[in-house]
Amino acid sequence: MDVFIEQIIRKKPNMKDYLIYAATLLGSCIIVLVSMMYLPTFSIFILAGVCFGAYYLISSRSLEFEYSVTNGDITIDKIINRRKRKRVITIDAHDVEEIGKYKPEEHSAKSYSERIFTSENENGENVWYLVARHQQKGNVLLMFSPNEKVLMAIKPFLSRQVAINAFGRN
């Protein structure tokens, strides 16, 4: 029987996002005011360009992550403002070496070739991690926020010891 489960989560804005919003609005206002003083004939075109650029930059901070599990392949895509989709990573569940609830203090001293954060919030609340060997990226630490269905779809494809360590003997 084929397994296919999907989940889409929305990333919550953090302090970095709010700083980008404020800097974009402030920079846009400064550019428009300077253009009105020194280039009054072109200020309407500059205003239109700055408004479009500010809208594009601010809206591109709206992120969603889509988790897909298909017969042991874990695929994570990043969706930017519902207009652009980008593949973040694809991992075979058989290559997973560790999986469990994420505790930042446990992973701060460990070295990974890449740390990928695809969770709804960055404070570690309701975040899971998995460590896997990836062909191109090497030893990868992936933080994500799966629901129970996604976790249960991954579980049968994990090695026996990894599944026992993560979920117990169920």
The partner residues of 68 in beta bridges, in order of sequence, read 6, 75
Q: Is 9 part of any domain? A: no
Q: How far apart are CA 128 and CA 40, in angstroms?
A: 54
CA 6 from centroid of its chain's CA atoms: 15
Both structure tokens of 109: 């001293």
Q: Is 29 part of any domain? A: yes
| Number of structural domains the chain divides into | 1
pLDDT by residue (tens digit) across 5-33?
Answer: 999 999 999 899 999 999 999 999 999 99
Q: Is 45 part of any domain? A: yes
Q: Is 111 part of any domain? A: no
- Closest Cα to residue 112, out of 131, 142, 139? 139
Q: What are phi and psi of 142, to 5 degrees?
A: -115, 125
Q: Is 87 part of any domain? A: no
pLDDT by residue (tens digit) across 113-125?
Answer: 999 999 988 766 7
pLDDT by residue (tens digit) across 47-70?
Answer: 999 999 999 999 999 999 999 999
- Give the domain range for residue 47: 15-59
Q: Is 129 part of any domain? A: no
Number of H helices, E strands in the chain: 5, 8
Q: Is 104 part of any domain? A: no
Q: Is 140 part of any domain? A: no
